[in-house]
Structure formats: C-alpha cells, structure tokens
Structure 1
C-alpha cells in the first residue's frame, strides 16, 4: 500500500514505551508509527471523553492502524497509550530542553490534552443547560488516562450493583457540580502555569543558544577577516617582490644590450 509503513519494515525505534505486553513477540513501535497512532487517537479523543466504554474505540483504532499498514491489536494500542501518557506525566519535572530530547512525542500529547481542556471549558461555559452526555464528558475528562483505560471493559463485565452505582454517580447534586467546576478551573490554572514555566525555560535556553551561536559566529567572522588580511598582505608582498625582480631583470637586460652594442661597434671599427 503506497505511502504506508509496515511495522516489520520500519526502523525499530521505541522512544515512547512498549506496546502493551507484546514486546517479546512483536516489533517495537517506530517513531513514524507512534506519530500515526497519536494522530488517530487525537481524532477520537472527544469520543473517549464522552464514554467509559472504550473497548470498541480501541478496536476502531486497531482497524485504522491496520489500514495504514501497522499490525497492532487493540490491547497493544491501549498499552501504548498508557505508556505514552506515563512518559508525558514524567516530563512535568523536566526542563524544556531535556523533554524534547528524552520524549519526542511531547508536543503531540500536549496538543491532545490542551484540546481536551478547551472542550471542558466550552462545556463549562454552557452552564446548567448542558446535556447529561456533556456533563459526563467533563467528569470523565478529570480521570487520568490510566483510569479511562481501566474502565473500558465495562461492556458486559459490570452488572447489577455496578450499574446502579454508576447511575447514582451520574445524578450529582448542584454542590458536586460546583465542586467539579472549581476543580476544572484549578486544573486548568495549574496546566497553564506549567505551560508558561516550560515556555519560559525553553525561551531562556533558546536565547542562551542564540547568544552562544552569535558569539561563535563573530569569532568565526573575525578569524576569516584575519585570514583574508593575511592573504592580502602575502599577495602584496609577492607582487612587490615580483616587481623588484622585474626591475632587476630589465636593468640586467639593458646592461647586456649596452655591452653587446659596444662590442659590435668595436668589431666594426677593427674590420675597417
């Protein structure tokens, strides 16, 4: 299939964690395969936030990965997502420069969770008129990705009391809703604070690199100028030496011509 990458022909580079228990039997995830996987997962993230029954969604992801030429099961995809999220959370204490070196998929994960936060704020802005599915999306969005995936086998596995418990949780009172909104705001503020700190760290590192590059460039230019000046001086000295040699040659030639002329004149006088 044109434009697709099969996992068995890809470079076996896995910088985002294993694929969910099949590391001994299946090849590691290549960088391109992981980026394609995150693109698919990003497109389905709103659906993941609206339901806890994610088993079918992981099947959809597995099918779409196969359409791109990757042979990955739903369990492998789910395990890969867990590992990527774990790596992403571990980047919170790292510096911006180190993040991009140790975890090349940080920007993709950041975009997914940033879009999720925007959807949560949009749902919050709708106020009390939001539908139950949207309220459920807000509640689900607060869960970590590990909690999302641990709840995705609820199709047929949870019966009776568990269904009643879920139904009871969905009927939250206004105070719980207020607490939820406050919690969302706190999460968003903390998220934005971390983003600003990371951006500031990245900006400082970038400015330091630019200053170092500028200094090295100035040193290089000065070295090149010194070499050029030295070359010009050598060229000028060579031209001066050549000019002096030419003058000496002309003087010798003139003396030689004078002697030859005098000799010829003397010979003519003797012949007479």
Structure 2
C-alpha cells in the first residue's frame, strides 16, 4: 500500500478511536450522575455540593449566552476585516500588515488574554456597564447590580479570541472566488460593492459559515480566559452585567475541589454535554465546507 495512504488510514483510525475513547470514558465517569438525576440534570438550576444536588442549566445557559454574543461580535468584525483585506478595498501594504497581525492574535495564549480581561478590561468596562444600566435599567438583561467580572466581559474576551479564526478563513474563502466571475460582473457594469454582494459573498458563503461554526466550537471549549473573567456564579443569568458560569469554567474551577463521587460524576456529565455540543458544531462545519468545495 502507498505509504501516504497507510499513514492517512492509521491517522483516521486513531482520531476515531480517540473520540470514541473520550466519549466512552466521560459516559462511564458520569454514570452515577446520569442514574441519579436523569434528564432533570439538564433543566435543574440547583448546584449544592453539600446537599448533593446538581443541575447543569445555569452552566448551559451561560455557555450559550457567552458563545452567542461572542460569535455575533466576532462575525461582524471578522467578516468585515476579511472583506477589507481580500475584497479589493485595501492597499497591498495594508494587507501585508493586517494579515500577520490577525495570525499573531490567534497565537496569544488564552491565559494572557484572561489576565488582560481581569486586570484591565473588567475595571474599565464596569464604568461602561454602569452607564448603560443607568439608562436601560428597564430592560432585564441590562438591569440589576453591575459587575466588571460578568457574562458580558467573558463574551467580549471570547470574541477577541475567535476573531482571527473567522477573519483568516473568510479571507481565504473570498480569495478563492474565481477571478473570472468578479471580472465578468465588473465588465457588466457592477460596482465593487455590487460584485461583492452579488458574486463574492454568495459564492464564499458556505466557507464563511463554516469558519463561524469553527469559531463557535472554539468559543464553546475555551476555559482559562472565561474562568478568569466570568465570576463563576451558579445563579441563573438574569443580566449580562452580572457574574455567571459556563460548562468549562465550572469544570476548571471545581474539579480539584470535588470530594464526593457524585460531585465528580456531575462534572464529568458536564464534560460529556460539552463534547456532544462541540462534535455537533464541528460536524456541521465540515458539511458546510464540503458544500463550498463542491461549488468551487
């Protein structure tokens, strides 16, 4: 057999075995929690290790909220950056500067970004949140006590971490659009904006959506930076400016403190839930990317 094919085969088998082993291990480790709580684990807001009551709803809600906000912010900035770099709007020398900066941002360790959010960003944003809350207090998500270490700060930190993924992959997708299509549109009298809107973005849409889904998977699994700035409160989130928690922050902050087998099993079940969500997002991204290459 061709050595390249053999290596590819073994690599594929190893990845499948790794995923299966990880899933099986988490399922086995969370068996006690699953047997005791069942489906109620997903819809319960209780988290009392002393009394042995555990519920994943606050962590799931916090994960969903921070991921959704961060992806919305990062998508707007990332796609806008990609359009500016690869859509014919920027000079060549600007592209030479911005592209490496985006790649450099992706290489910054998450703990460093977490420290930046904890020591600099959260005190600064607390004043901004107070100003917003004083004017929009009648809207529930902006009301209540304001804290710099909060769900919103965690969302902003997450958006900083996934912008490079969206910007880099979207830029590559835009550059892969055939030149003939763009030149044909311009020859028919379309403006640069019309060419971008009618030809470029629709053609690259599958890959751009795939980049957003991959960034979503990154946001779902981010741990250290979120743990440092979200506050790790097990209360159901009522305001974006109050502390909350995510699945990853709960596991990271409480795993070493878990003393009972049920406590550990509940944390393992949180990990199992996160694994299933991440696999679903990544599989969706793969199918979206295949759609792009099929059209290309």
Query: TM exceeds 0.5?
Result: no
**TM-score, normalised relative to structure 2:** 0.27
TM-score normalised over the length of structure 1: 0.29
Q: Which structure has the larger Rg? A: 1
